[in-house]
């Protein structure tokens, strides 16, 4: 897994898996069972400050507080005008910045997690890709986002119900840390979330799709396809070595191995990939798959390519898919006014303002 960033004291407690916590506790001459107590404090209570873990002896709290820093609080939080969406700008230990989004849509509260600082995929309509990949996030840095979002939900007497890896970065290009984060999210003694309430979204990394099916068969898969034709997809999503045919082959294996249904995400750009002809070819491409198409009209952001399609064109595309037996919905948009919608996360607002 990715090593934690350098800090004056060392990595925070979220960096350690349970075995790592046991080793840390034993190095402090404390009984190994204390590790499980710390684990529950972190992931069930969301208590990240060791000095406040009341079920631990005072000496151990002191030792842990000296050895492991408390993760930094967000530098900036924003909430959409309608109150449905909150976004946090989170500083990491080495000064990198990421963004995390909580979406409230009764009866769901969904956190959109980032898995990388920046992104190497280069999708032309995505603000995150403009920065390139800065680094991978650790499993602990991913979990920090989930814990923060759950705190927001609980402050309003709600509960975090769903997790989607749809924030900054390509989750399957950081597979080891994302997989470890999924394990912690679904640990009955940890975050205790059902894997059916977790979705991993990818632009199409065939080996990662297959690994996800093998390691986490109950976790949902979403694939950002964005085009029915190879040349157009290469223009919109310039990912080397991942052709549409290779991606769909991996999706078929995922269908077979998990018995689940995949969601194809499709960002609509006016005059580029939004015609009924594109819809017909998309339906032909995914015929025979257990699949659903989620249509996303482009969310404008500075520096990204493309224009937002008309509502009429969006609904026409949806109807063309449905006419061919493909279930299709148009994503309900939330958070555009705070740049928290699909494709708008950047993780550099405070940095740029400084």
What's the order of all strands across the beta sheet hosting 97-105? 76-79, 85-91, 97-105, 108-112, 162-165, 198-202, 220-224, 262-268, 291-297, 328-330
Q: Which residue has the tokens 């224009």?
A: 307
C-alpha angle with apex 165: 315 to 340, nearest 5 degrees?
Answer: 60
Say if residues 11 and 140 touch (Cβ distance below 8 Å).
yes
The rounded distance, in Å, linking the Cα atoms of 161 and 14 is 21
The rounded distance, in Å, linking the Cα atoms of 327 and 138 is 36
From the candidates 112, 123, 126, 342, which is the catalytic residue?
A: 342
The rounded distance, in Å, linking the Cα atoms of 119 and 129 is 5
The rounded distance, in Å, linking the Cα atoms of 251 and 18 is 33
- CB burial of 111-130 (b: ≥16 within 10 Å; e: otherwise) equals bbbbbbbbbebbbbbbbbbb
**Does the annotation count 342 as an active-site position?**
yes
Longest CA–CA span in the chain (Å) reads: 69
The rounded distance, in Å, linking the Cα atoms of 41 and 46 is 6
Backbone angles phi, psi at 101, to 5 degrees: -125, 135
Peptide bond connecting 121 to the previous residue in cis, omega within 30 degrees of 0? no
**Does the annotation count 99 as an active-site position?**
yes
The rounded distance, in Å, linking the Cα atoms of 99 and 120 is 17
**Cβ-based neighbour number of residue 325 at 10 Å:** 8
From the candidates 96, 99, 141, 170, which is the catalytic residue?
A: 99
Q: At what angle do helices 175-186 and 139-155 cross, to 10 degrees?
A: 40
The residues annotated as belonging to the active site are 99, 342
């Amino acid at each position: 897994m990715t090593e934690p960033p350098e800090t004056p004291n060392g990595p925070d407690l979220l960096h350690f898996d349970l075995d790592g916590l046991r080793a840390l506790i034993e190095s402090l001459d404390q009984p190994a069972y204390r590790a499980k107590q710390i684990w529950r404090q972190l992931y069930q209570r969301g208590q990240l400050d060791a000095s406040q873990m009341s079920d631990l002896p005072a000496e151990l709290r002191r030792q842990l507080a000296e050895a492991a820093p408390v993760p930094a609080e967000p530098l900036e939080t924003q909430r959409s005008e309608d109150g449905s969406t909150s976004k946090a700008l989170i500083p990491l230990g080495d000064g990198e910045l990421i963004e995390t989004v909580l979406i409230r849509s009764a009866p769901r509260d969904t956190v959109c997690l980032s898995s990388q600082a920046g992104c190497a995929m280069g999708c032309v309509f995505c603000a995150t890709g403009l920065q390139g990949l800065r680094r991978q996030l650790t499993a602990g840095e991913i979990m920090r986002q989930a814990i923060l979002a759950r705190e927001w939900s609980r402050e309003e007497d709600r509960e975090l119900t769903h997790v989607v890896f749809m924030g900054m970065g390509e989750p399957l290009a950081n597979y080891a840390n994302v997989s470890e984060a999924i394990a912690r999210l679904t640990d009955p003694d940890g975050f205790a979330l059902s894997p059916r309430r977790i979705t991993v979204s990818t632009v199409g990394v065939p080996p990662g799709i297959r690994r996800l099916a093998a390691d986490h068969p109950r976790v949902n898969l979403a694939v950002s396809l964005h085009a029915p034709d190879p040349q157009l997809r290469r223009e919109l999503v310039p990912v080397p070595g991942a052709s549409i045919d290779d991606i769909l082959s991996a999706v078929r294996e995922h269908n077979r191995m998990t018995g689940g249904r995949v969601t194809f995400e499709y960002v609509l750009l006016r005059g580029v990939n939004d015609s009924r002809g594109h819809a017909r070819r998309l339906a032909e491409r995914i015929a025979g798959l257990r699949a659903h198409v989620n249509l996303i009209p482009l969310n404008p952001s500075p520096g990204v390519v493309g224009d937002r399609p008309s509502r009429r064109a969006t609904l026409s595309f949806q109807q063309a898919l449905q006419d061919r037996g493909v279930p299709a919905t148009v994503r309900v948009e939330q958070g555009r006014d705070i740049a928290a919608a699909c494709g708008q996360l950047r993780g550099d607002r405070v940095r740029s303002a400084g």
